[in-house]
Each structure stands twice: as C-alpha cells, then as structure tokens.
Amino acid sequence: MKPFSYATALSPESARQLASSSKHGAYLAGGNDLLGLLKEGLVEADLLVNVKALPGLGKIEQSGAGWSIGALATVAQVEKHPGLKAAFPGLAAAAAEVASPQIRNVATVGGNLAQHSRCWYFRHRDTLCLKKGGDHCFARNGENRYHTLFTGNPCVSPMVSSLAVAFAALDAVAVVVREGKELRWSMADFYHRAWENPLTHHSLEPGDLVVRVEVPLLRTRSAYLQASEKHAFDWALVSCAAATGIDGGKMKGPRIALGSISPMPHQAEAANTFLEGKPLALDDATATQAADLLLKEAQPLEHNGYKVPIALALVRRALLQLQS
C-alpha cells in the first residue's frame, strides 16, 4: 500500500477543499470498499478525507413529503429504523441483504451508492481493463457470468448497490454537493455516466459529495428481493425492487428496478406504464407480462444467460409481494 495523508473534514466545503488540495484526494466513509481498493493498488489516493465527522449527515428524519436519509447513515440504521421500515419495507429489505451485520454497521449510504465495480478483471491488480484506462473489456468475451444484460458502452461491469435498486423503485433523489451547489439526482442520473463511459462507476466527479437521499412518501407498498450464490456476505447475481402507491385498490405510479444486470438500476418505462392502474392483487399472468417487458431487450453474454430467468422470477415475486 502506498503512503497517504489523512485529514478530517468538518463541513462539506472543507471536505471539497481538502480533497482538491492534493492530486488524488478521496473521501473515506466506512472504508469497506475504498480501503480494499487502496490495498490492491486499484485506486491511487495520496490524501484520504475522512467525511464521517461531517455534522448532520448521519441523520434519518421524516420531513413533510417523505424521508431524508443522511449520506453517513449506516446501512444497519436503514435496515432497522422503525419509521423507515414501516414506510419503505422494500428499502429495509434491501439494506438487510447487504454483506454481513458487521459490514452493515459501518458501511454508509453514500459509500454504498458510490462503491466501485466488482468485476474480477477490474479487481485484478495486473489487469489493465477498459475500466482502468485499458483498451479492452476482458469480461465481454471472457468470464462474464456476473456481468451485464444491458449496457451502453463496451464495458460489461454491472452496478451492484442494493440500496440504489430500492431507491430507484421509490423514485428517491440523491442530493450531491458540487462546488457549493446542491444537485438533485434520480438514481438514473446517479449512474448515467457509467452507462456511457467505461471509466466511471457513477456520475460523481472528484470533489462531489453525496449529502443525503430523499425518499418521497408516494409509494406505500414496496418489496425487494435478491438472488445470490451465498445466503449472506455476497453481492446479488440479480436484485429486484418494486414499489407502488395505491388508489382504490389499484396501482398508482408503480416502479420496478433491477440490479446487477446493468451499469445503472435497470428500469423500463413500458413495464411501469403497463402496470399503472392494474389491481394491487395482481395475477401471475400480469406480473409475468410486466417482467417480460423489463427484460425484453436483454443481451445476455456467453455465460450469464441464466440471469434472465432469475430476473423474470424476481420481478414476478416482488410484484406479488406488494399485495401484502
């Protein structure tokens, strides 16, 4: 591991100033992802800016139209917060699937959203893949069983944040401070750059600080399911979140999002529109039709075609869970 300096920021502005005061400044939250990347020599940081002391960023609170979750709230807090759990059971379920209790106790919401690729070519220190500035995605025609079914660029590394998938279905907004101004991003905005640009994992630029995520109270029913190789301590092969409001027993503003199959939470407007106004007590055939719409344009690679039936099953099950 290369030597680095360490500083603690006491305000978002000082965090940005500190990070930009050196060539490779990086924010350090729970450290679960960043420290591993540093140890493997995959990220070069000469200054770690500890953001955990930033005041007010660990709060979870209800505001008039929804809930505000500070970027420093831990994944365990999101999992266990009674008010959040009652309002958004799908979000609590997504948090409960993250890694292990030990990791959830220190992993933060901001760090979870900004975590880097799990692609094993990217994570291999001796492989200069496209995501690290090389000229080739080794996974595209190589060992690609964990990779994307959808992508907008030659890199096939998927976004694996469980929270991002639940937030996408709930139409949550990430508030990001860039040069003193607050930007409000949907989850699609948060990962859009990764869809287009193989070098990035998300749309954050150096110095951008996630300060909170706002979740509107529009969708009172939500569910989250993921399929992994291991029961715990593992990322999802495929994850799925569904959420909806209810109007007279019918779905109002339904949303479905899939994770681990695209550089961003995968959503299809056609599926959401199809479900609008359908009875909450959905039958299996209608849920299957919605799932088909979501996966219609999937482009499996040589070794990950198995993800399609898993995704179809998760969508159906998540939609049926909205009834209870």
Ligand X SMILES: Cc1cc2nc3c(=O)[nH]c(=O)nc-3n(C[C@H](O)[C@H](O)[C@H](O)COP(=O)(O)OP(=O)(O)OC[C@H]3O[C@@H](n4cnc5c(N)ncnc54)[C@H](O)[C@@H]3O)c2cc1C
**Per-residue DSSP letters for 192-224?**
HHHHH-TT-SSSPPTT-EEEEEEEETT--EEEE
Nearest residue to 197 via CA among 243, 262, 130: 130
Nearer to ligand X, 204 or 282 (CB): 204
Nearer to ligand X, 236 or 294 (CB): 236
> Least distance from C-beta 93 to ligand X, angstroms?
12
Beta-carbon count within 10 A of 171 CB? 18
Nearest residue to 88 via CA among 265, 271, 231, 244: 244
Nearer to ligand X, 25 or 254 (CB): 25
> Least distance from C-beta 77 to ligand X, angstroms?
12
> Least distance from C-beta 43 to ligand X, angstroms?
7
> Least distance from C-beta 238 to ligand X, angstroms?
12
Closest residue to ligand X, based on beta-carbon distance: 111
Nearer to ligand X, 156 or 209 (CB): 209
List residues near ligand X by CB under 6 A.
26-34, 51, 71, 75, 97-99, 103, 107-108, 110-112, 114-115, 160-163, 204, 209-210, 233-236
Nearer to ligand X, 110 or 254 (CB): 110
**Per-residue DSSP letters for 25-66?**
EEEESS-TTHHHHHHTTSS--SEEEE-TT-TTTT-EEEETTE
User: Is residue 131 a contact partner of residue 157, using CB atoms and an 8 Å limit?
Assistant: yes
Nearest residue to 295 via CA among 278, 307, 281: 307
> Least distance from C-beta 38 to ligand X, angstroms?
9
Nearer to ligand X, 103 or 188 (CB): 103
> Least distance from C-beta 210 to ligand X, angstroms?
4
User: Is residue 171 a contact partner of residue 186, using CB atoms and an 8 Å limit?
Assistant: yes
**Per-residue DSSP letters for 255-278?**
EEEEESSSSS-B--HHHHHHHTT-
Nearer to ligand X, 39 or 125 (CB): 39
Q: How far is CA 92 from CA 35, 84, 128, 302, in A?
A: 26, 7, 37, 34
> Least distance from C-beta 302 to ligand X, angstroms?
25
